Structure 1
Amino acid sequence: MSLSKRFYESSYYREDKVDYNHTFESGQRFEIINHSSKSVNGLWEVLKESNLQGSYFCNRVLKNGKLSKSDTRSNFRTFNSNEIYDALSKTN
């Protein structure tokens, strides 16, 4: 075991991981603001739940309110439930 792991165990340091485990319905919209990647910023809509636990397929919502039909990476993404929950809590 490394020295740093022993130090943190001896000082009872624990990193608190928050796992929301929320479920979202198809059609729920959320907005991501100030993401490190500019292509992620914008309004998104949940399409369906992914095969991966806690992940959702999402599609970008265009300015006219319709869903983008493109399957490119900038318009179709898989988001984690924690990312969606954080985006919803920041906009509300």
Structure 2
Amino acid sequence: MRMGGAKVESVTNREDAIEALPRVRPTALVSDIRRGDDPQAGFTDLRYLRERGLYDGPVLFYTGQVTPSRLAQAEELGADGVTTDPGDVLEWLAGVAKRE
């Protein structure tokens, strides 16, 4: 799907992300933190991708709640942040695009 000049690929689990990464070669990832019954899935999956060298680019977590713990975990994983604001996501993506 194309949105605002960007190609958007949506995946809902780690396995699909692993399959999509080499095919899509994303400029950036936007992820939720909670998926299904796992309140840490986004962090767990990013750690997995980083540790295996599958993705080392920019990441922003777009989620329902920003907490100090979530901010600290995102920073530890080298993510650019955590937000609840869709405007922040668009601004961040525009900034990433300018760096390319």
Range into which the TM-score falls when normalised by the shorter chain = under 0.3
- Tell me the TM-score normalised to structure 2 length: 0.25
When you count strand as a share of all residues, which structure comes out higher? 1
- Tell me the TM-score normalised to structure 1 length: 0.26
Query: Considering only CA atoms, is the larger Rg found in Structure 1 or Structure 2?
Result: 1
